[in-house]
């Protein structure tokens, strides 16, 4: 893939760079997306039953089991070159932050140190009544375990539909949109708010906005550069074009 000089210079000279990622970043790791192909999660599972608090309360065993199966699947998968390029970039640019909608933890596994998880992490649990954080080694039995502090049911500590995003995480993410010089949006359908507002905020604040996605999205018309293709293929090529050296 050919990249234009302005794109390469912007990435070389940036002091503050944000990678904003969605499910498309993990597609090449084997993780299903949510909306864009026949095996996507919300095409095969009703999000109102599996990704809302009311759905969990109506059928806690079914929802707990569904997330247990997703956790088990993720344990057999691993980060792909897209995650590894973003991790390597933090040793080239002083201020690199990953803001992710993903809950798979692959950015941290790949070595990214500054990661903001807007929608939580699938390995974490909390209780449904008071949000008491549960120990990581909780028995992931078939039925949801009970909170050791209040006895209510445990649930995945992730953001379901109709739930607020973690306030501190979202505040820092919003601030980064105003401060960064380059904002790279990777594998996002731009359909889920308020996270999807962040790339638009960055563009309005004067950041150079790059989008990597095989499909067009609502962000196309405001991006300074749309790179149509797979993140796991484009990012290693972009690394080579910017730094003129192989990916570590
Ligand atoms: C909230 C966790 C209010 C669970 C998820 C306006 C403002 C605020 C809210 C709303 C609003 N309008 C509507 C809402 C409500 C709702 C919403 O946005 N609904 C949409 C669907 C219309 N938002 C909410 O409910 C949010 N909460 O607003 O609360 C509030 C406020 C205060 C106090 C109380 C309440 C919560 C949203 C989070 C929901 N949680 N998941 C789980 O994972 O099980 S949603 C899910 O969507 C994931 O989190 C995911 O990250 C997110 C976004 O999806 P994408 O990551 O973009 O993935 P998708 O499959 O859609 O697209 C994949 C893309 O990758 C595609 O473009 C594809 O082309 C591309 N791709 C594919 N392969 C590759 C690739 N790209 C690169 N390389 C490849 N190889």
Cα angle, residue 187 at apex, residues 171 and 235 outer, rounded to 5°:
105
The arithmetic mean of pLDDT across residues 59-69, rounded, is 94
Distance (Å) of CA 22 to CA 10, 84, 91, 240: 23, 15, 23, 23
Least-confidence region, from 112-121, 132-141, 185-194? 132-141
State pLDDT tens for residues 88-99: 999 999 999 999
Which CATH number does the domain housing residue 130 bear?
A: 3.30.1600.10
Q: Are residues 191 and 227 both part of a single domain?
A: yes
Q: Are residues 66 and 179 both part of a single domain?
A: no
Q: Are residues 113 and 216 both part of a single domain?
A: yes
pLDDT at 142 over 70: no
Task: Residue 11: count other Cβ atoms within 10 Å of its Cβ.
Answer: 23
- Please give the pLDDT value at position 48: 87
Nearest residue by C-alpha to atom 21 in ligand 1 = 192
- Please give the pLDDT value at position 167: 97
Number of domains in the chain: 2
Residue 248 CA to ligand 1 center (angstroms) comes to 32
Domain that holds residue 56: 32-76+124-158
Q: Are residues 130 and 110 both part of a single domain?
A: no
Q: Are residues 112 and 86 both part of a single domain?
A: yes
Task: Residue 187: count other Cβ atoms within 10 Å of its Cβ.
Answer: 28
Q: Are residues 190 and 241 both part of a single domain?
A: yes
Residue 102 CA to ligand 1 center (angstroms) comes to 9
The model carries a pTM of 0.96
């Amino acid at each position: 893939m050919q990249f234009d000089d302005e794109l390469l210079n912007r990435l070389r000279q940036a002091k503050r760079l944000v990678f904003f990622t969605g499910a498309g970043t993990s597609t090449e790791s084997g993780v299903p997306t949510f909306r864009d192909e026949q095996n996507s999660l919300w095409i095969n599972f009703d999000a109102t039953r599996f990704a809302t608090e009311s759905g969990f309360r109506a059928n806690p065993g079914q929802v707990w089991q569904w997330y247990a199966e997703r956790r088990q699947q993720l344990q057999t998968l691993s980060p792909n070159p897209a995650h590894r390029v973003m991790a390597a970039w933090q040793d080239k640019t002083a201020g690199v932050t990953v803001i992710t909608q993903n809950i798979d933890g692959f950015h941290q596994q790949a070595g990214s140190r500054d990661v903001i998880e807007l929608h939580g992490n699938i390995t974490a649990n909390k209780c449904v009544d008071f949000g008491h954080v549960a120990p990581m080694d909780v028995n992931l039995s078939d039925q949801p375990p009970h909170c050791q502090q209040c006895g209510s049911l445990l649930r995945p500590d992730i953001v379901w539909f109709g739930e607020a995003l973690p306030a501190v995480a979202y505040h820092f993410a919003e601030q980064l949109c105003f401060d960064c010089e380059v904002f790279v949006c990777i594998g996002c359908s731009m359909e889920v708010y308020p996270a999807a507002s962040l790339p638009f905020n960055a563009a309005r604040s004067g950041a150079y906005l790059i989008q990597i996605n095989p499909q067009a999205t609502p962000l196309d018309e405001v991006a300074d550069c749309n790179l149509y293709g797979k993140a796991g293929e484009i990012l290693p090529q972009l690394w080579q074009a910017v730094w003129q050296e192989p990916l570590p």
